[in-house]
Amino acid sequence: MALAIEANMRSREGKLQEALDLLFEVYTNQLSQIDLDRAIDLMDNERKASFFVGLPQGDVRNRWLERHAGVQVIDQSNEELDDYNRKELD
């Protein structure tokens, strides 16, 4: 019984770590620091973290993250990012 519980804990930790790795890899430059913190908090939910990892990269995952974490993903392909970067440099 103890081995099954330990295996389940390792599996859970692996899923959560995978979600955090993906979050940092893809979204570090697409979220403000406050929004990144909110997204990190969302990944504490195992079901949502697993769902996040399973979503295809792009608009679908971005919209899901915006809805569930209450964040705004900055689209790097438009002028919004240019404006954001200009404000950060001023």
Distances (CA, A) of 68 to 5, 11, 63: 29, 23, 9
The pLDDT assigned to 20 comes to 96
Give the list of residues 6+ apart from residue 1 with CB closer than 8 angstroms, or none: none
pLDDT digits (tens, 9 = 90+) for 43-82: 999 999 999 999 999 999 999 999 999 999 998 765 455 5
H or E, element range at 24: helix 2-27
Cβ contact 67:39 at 8 Å: no
